[in-house]
Structure 1
Amino acid sequence: MILIASTLFLSGFLMTGACLPLVFGKVPMNSVDGIRIKTAYRSPDSWMYVNEVGGMIFAMLRFPLMLAGAIGSLLTDREVAVLGIVAGLSTLGSLTSAVYLLIRYTNSYSLTFDQTTCKSKFS
């Protein structure tokens, strides 16, 4: 069952790694990669802000998957199978919460972002 534990860890690690270009602003505005929602396409600045926050949220919520994989390497076969199911369900739950947090952020972001000057109203 070390295979299940290592799969959990590696999938969490790879998904976190896939979020890092978003966090560091390395993904230009496009229609293929990144957080593709209406608010993100308003300007290049809004694209960067939305993708930075979205990347951070999705990367942080992949940590439990890596933790489950690390813990799973210390458990018996039956415990790892249960841990795999729990990790899968927690991944679905964290994905749901990540989408909710991102939508909530973008709604508040659109209220504080001046579209004419492309600057935050708070800066």
Structure 2
Amino acid sequence: MLGTIWINTGLALLAFVVTFGVAWVSNVWLVSLERAGVAFLLFFLAAFPIRWLFGLIAQPSEPASTAVDADGAGSAESPGSTHPTGEQVEDSDEQDSFTPLTFAQPERNPLTEDPTTVAEVIRRLSDE
């Protein structure tokens, strides 16, 4: 979770003050205080899921190849290491090099009908 409980409290206090000030203009101070208390509680509780979502978004994702076994040794083989059969194993990054995405040019379809023929047909149909 991102931040501390003080973020929740600060947000809730801000909501309390703003709600109290706005409600005091048109209500009795006791009603304004009650509404401000409800706003404090709602904003305090609403800050928890918001902080949790921000924590998930801000958390950097770790690649699976850097996972550590229970023994403390890395699970990924180092480049140039030998396989149990004795052959040389290359790094997977060299095999999966970046290739940019290329789009095929759309083919132009030749007109199946002559435009003048189409125009004559439309003229004949609109005359009827």
Structure with the bigger percentage of helix:
1
Which structure's relative contact order is higher, taking Cα pairs within 8 Å and 6+ residues apart?
1
Structure number, greater radius of gyration: 2
Q: Give the TM-score normalised by the residue count of structure 1.
A: 0.37
